[in-house]
Structure 1
Amino acid sequence: MQDSITIAMWEIKKMLKNKSFLLSIILTPFIMLLFAGVPRLLMHIESESLFTLYVVDEIGIYETLNTEMALDNLELNLYEGDFSQLEEKVKEGQDKGYMIMHPEVLNQGQVVIYTGGEGFPNLMEIENALGSVLKRQLLLDFGLTPESAQQVAEGFFIQTVNLTYTDDYWQRFTPVVFAGLMIFAVFITGMATMQSAMAEKKDRIVEVLLSTTSADSLMQGKIYGYFALGLIQVLVWLIFAIIAVNVIFEVPVHSYLLVPSFPIMLFFALGGYLLYSAFLVSMGATIDDLYTAGNFQGLVFMMPMLPILLIGPVVQNPNGTVALIGSYFPLTTPSIMLLRLALSNSLTVAGILLPALVLVVSIWLVTKISGKIFRTGILMYGKNATPQEILKWLRQ
């Protein structure tokens, strides 16, 4: 155990000195915000610019349009001049357009807005307002009163409310989001564990390491070391997320982590990391180059993504057959139990302890199996191990 701790500390120190790793911890939240927020912000800025819409009114609807389409970014102008001059005027302007309201518009249900300049301005808000006004005008033509036409034109807001979830959604789902971040870190740090084993195997550093410690200690040290690095990464992301949600939505997210179910969620999330890391680090020892990995190794690499296939059915029924199977199948136990803890109020103590026992036993078993694979595979050079060779190692 002492050797494993020493290896773990070595892995942590090595990565904490790696500038790329440190930058990825800090820059990842900013990059996500950059790609998600900047395009939306820029589109908002563009849509805020004033758009002039000329209306050729042949059905006497301009006054209604001018009254109902009172948008900050829209200026309506009634045009009664020469049509050819209107086209030239619109072509020259970047934020100009025109539409012809002829008698067939209401019958055909189609309006064309012609724009000028270069590019395609965002007219979604204008189109929605125009559609509402024309729908109301059509209803008036059918003989409805203005009040009835207004009521029908507004349509209906359809909302689904589940009586089971009467508490605060933030309180219910914040812990599972944080635990989900841990599951996400499984794939990232698990792959890093695998790549570390591959790099040391390729550089023959592993021979030096194995001269001072056992293969089991080396593998466990890598798992524990990257486990700690994964925690650091997630905690940094959590701090950024808490600050962002507090500032943007004014929601005290940190207070929602202090709920009874959170330690249980954390247990399943961390257990999932240990399970998948053991798989991945042993597979890293069986391949000489990631780009030449066989189909068998590729299948193992995708194991952390397996729960995605069950998310839909579990969300629909967190106590159904699919949810129960996913809870007791070791490769999906962590993720499915996180969802069930968030969605189900009827989970019994046995319904939590039995999947937890399955996960603990699976971690122990997989660690033993991975240790056998790692001991032999880490010293094999020049080729990738085949499934037949791996099975032979396990029988020894």
Structure 2
Amino acid sequence: MEVSVKKTDNANAEVSAKIQKSDIESRINKIAKNLSKTLNLPGFRKGKVPSAVVKKRYGEKIEKDAEAESLQEVYAKALEELGLKKEDVLGEPAVTKFEKSEEIIETEIKISFKPQIDLSGYEEAVPSFEEPEVTEEEVEERLKELAAALAPQRKLEEDRGLQEGDIAIIDFKGYIDDKELEGGSAENFQLKIGSKQFIEGFEEQLIGMKTGETKEIEVTFPQDYHNKDIAGKKAKFTVTLKEIQVKEEPKIDDELAKKMLPDEENATVELLKEKIREQLKSEKLSKLYNEELKPKLIESLVEKFNFDLPQNIVEQEIDLKLNEKLRSMSEDELKELRENQDKVKEIRDSLKDEAKKSVKATFIVDALAKQEGIGVEDQEVVQTIYYEAMQMGQNPQEVLEAYQKQGLLPAIKMAMIEDKLLTHLLNKKMESK
């Protein structure tokens, strides 16, 4: 067996080999002999089936097994010559040539492996920024909002119509084409007017109603409504206003502070303000990080470091981006692509640079996270999925199982590591000032 290995760059290699037919025959005989010891065929005692009979009955499969064994040996020799371990290899080796002749089999294999990345000077890629400030006006405004939210509600005794900001206690029933709308009715429902809790036009038509009044209103469901069966359709609702409630004038005092800070023994308005200031600063910092600095940092890291990329991983990323693009296409556009493969190649080529950047960013993040000791436990991933599912009103276990089935958990984990790493780097930059 002749094996030749050539590194095309620091993340890819090409292997060419000539496998003698005699080597294949030797493997076939060995496999057949081993099989003969365990086969149970009619007319033969178990373990006494002649090899010739085994080869006649299972010849094609045995030959394929023998060829696969030879390829494995080629692969093992290639790794040895490259000085790589199996865990260094990314994805499955690609057999690009397997030609048989009378005497030999000529084969070529492409191997991709983890690139070595020198991250020296990565700190220079972290953008400079000013730490966000919180004004007294912002603290006071948030304090008023919190006080208003906690202020008790009372029944309105005054004889007036429903106004913006009131809480309406209503019974309602919806109809589409004179048929009762499934899930479109409720009794004693609390609706704050102006909250935009219902579809556009619903709350506005209730303004001016008085307690005990019944009114029929018409609305149109949005075209992008989550229930496609009623999206874009007109509906009628019969609404009865049973009661109007209003919030009492909010009080800002130490009692409010005690409600907002139950774990603080001596809660005061001043302490509450300090906590609000911290929260507002955290919110501003989070917004600055997520909307501006993290994308800039990733772009900067990708630009700063250059290294060879494993070709098979780049191709996988192109496939992913192509599939995303295909999902957004119309049936006519897809039909055109099916009839014109050159167009598909053209789209793939247009996605190559973006795919390379994405793969490059992933390798940088992975290497930098290891260097900085940043990691995410599997349990953290599960907890995050559960929390987000509950936020969306979905069944957490069903969402988790769906992600597992689609093989998305590693990607979710990598995204969490990236987020954690970028936050860590930006925090270090801020603390070093």
Q: TM-score, normalised by structure 2?
A: 0.20
Max Rg structure: 2
What is the TM-score normalised by the length of structure 1?
A: 0.21
User: Taking CA–CA contacts closer than 8 Å with sequence separation of 6 or more, which of the two structures ends up with the larger relative contact order?
Assistant: 1
Structure whose residues are more often helix by fraction = 1
**Structure having the larger proportion of residues in strand:** 2
